[in-house]
Amino acid sequence: MKVCCGRILAMNSSDCRIFAANSHPALAQEISKTLKMPLGKVDLRRFSCGEIFVNFEDSVRGKHVFLIGTTGRGSVNEDFMEIFLMADAARRSFAKKVHVVLPHFGYARQDKIHNARESISAKLMANLLVKAGCDHLITLHLHSDQIQAFFDVPVDNLHAKKILVQKVKDERIQDPIVVSPDAGGAKFAKKFADLLGVDLAILHKTRPAHNKAEISQLIGNVAGKSCILVDDMVDTAGSVCAARETLVRSGSNEQVFLVATHPIFSGQAIERLSAANFAKIFVTNSMPLPQDCTKDLPIEQISIAPLVSSVIESIMSKKSVSKLFF
């Protein structure tokens, strides 16, 4: 994806500041390099009691401020709090607009009430971000599209399926079929299958307990096919590993590929994925991978930095970004 860095430098670099949160500095550095714009200086520290201190060392008065972070495994609460405080500091320092870049939006799975007396945490996080000073959210593949309506500010919900599809095409998989591990992901899997020009199968998943998944039914014929499991995220990996077992029992090839936007990989995910013996796993860098993950898994991480950089360039050049949503 081509990014018109020159136009930003010539027209709008003086109106823009990019700052990195502690949650994903590697992505921020890559975006900074792509745009040829240095990262702004910010002092992010912890008091001994654990409270977070934020101070921008570069002036943000009258600037478009882009705060680049994510919400990661085991630290989602702290990651959100850091972004809240950075947005608040930018707002109080007279930033023109505060654009929050959160490729992985934590708490998104709790977007409606499933059982009595539950919270809707996705809505709460949206309220807190806006209250802190966020004027615009840039995120990647929300767990459900309706979360955009939880915000009272614009949301750019980007998708990485085109770059993921290209990686799958490069594998030249024989007799491929795209499989959604549950009915909720069927819409995304259908678009993925259409881009590949292959058929779609859907698994029906139930959850007998928290973070446990059971596959009860397969819709579609996977016999003799090389299955490509497609999902928005892999958390504990229970769902996708159970899905792989079901597909192989149903007559698919032993070679099963896994494609996911967000590699959360919490709990026993690495051990489960390693034991499942996927042919290859494709994910984005919406969040950092666990340390030494690549030693245990046949995994390839695809960068979203060009995609996010294109959005930033379009915003500063007052161009449409709608082509990047779908």
pLDDT at 184 over 50: yes
Are residues 246 and 226 located together in one domain of the fold?
A: yes
Residues 72 and 193 placed together within one structural domain of the fold: no
CA distances from 105 to 143, 232, 263 (A): 8, 12, 12
**Based on the domain organization, do 128 and 203 belong to the same domain?**
no
- Does 67 share its domain with 117? yes
The Cα–Cα gap between 55 and 41 comes to 9
Considering the domain architecture, whether residues 224 and 145 belong to the same structural domain is answered as no
Residue 209 has pLDDT above 70, yes or no: no
Confidence tier at 122 by pLDDT (50, 70, 90): very high
Residues 258 and 283 in one domain: yes
Query: Are 43 and 18 in a shared domain?
Result: yes
pLDDT above 90 (res 208): no
Of the residues 205, 318, 319, 323, only one is catalytic, namely 205
Tokens, residue 129: 């971000």
Number of domains in the chain: 2
Mean pLDDT of 148-167: 95
Is residue 205 part of the annotated active site? The answer reads: yes
Helices 186-196 and 161-171, packing angle to 10 deg? 50
Region label for 74, one of left (φ > 0), alpha (ψ between -120 and 50) or beta (otherwise) = left
**One-character DSSP codes across 104-132:** S-TTTT--S-SSTT---HHHHHHHHHHHH
Q: Domain check: are 253 and 296 in the same one?
A: yes
pLDDT tens per residue across span 12-48: 567 999 999 999 999 999 999 999 999 999 999 999 9
Asked if residue 290 has pLDDT above 60, the reply is: yes
Query: What CATH number is associated with residue 76?
Result: 3.40.50.2020
- Averaged over 103-108, what is the pLDDT? 96
**Does 63 share its domain with 199?**
no
Q: Which of 270, 293, 179 is nearest to 231 (CA)?
A: 179
Q: Which domain holds residue 198?
A: 161-302
Using alpha carbons only, give the angle 123, 104, 165 rounded to the nearest 5 degrees. 125
Sign of CA dihedral 210, 215, 219, 225: positive
pLDDT-above-90 percentage for the chain: 83
pLDDT score of 211: 54
Same domain, 83 and 154: yes
Cα 134 to Cα 113: distance, rounded to the nearest angstrom: 26
Q: Closest Cα to residue 41, out of 102, 89, 9?
A: 89
> Looking at the structure, do residues 182 and 224 belong to the same domain, yes or no?
yes
Residue 152 shares a structural domain with residue 135:
yes
Q: 226: number of CA atoms within 13 Å, CB side?
A: 14
3-class secondary structure, 103: coil
Rounded mean pLDDT, 252-279: 96
Q: Are 264 and 235 in contact (CB under 8 A)?
A: yes
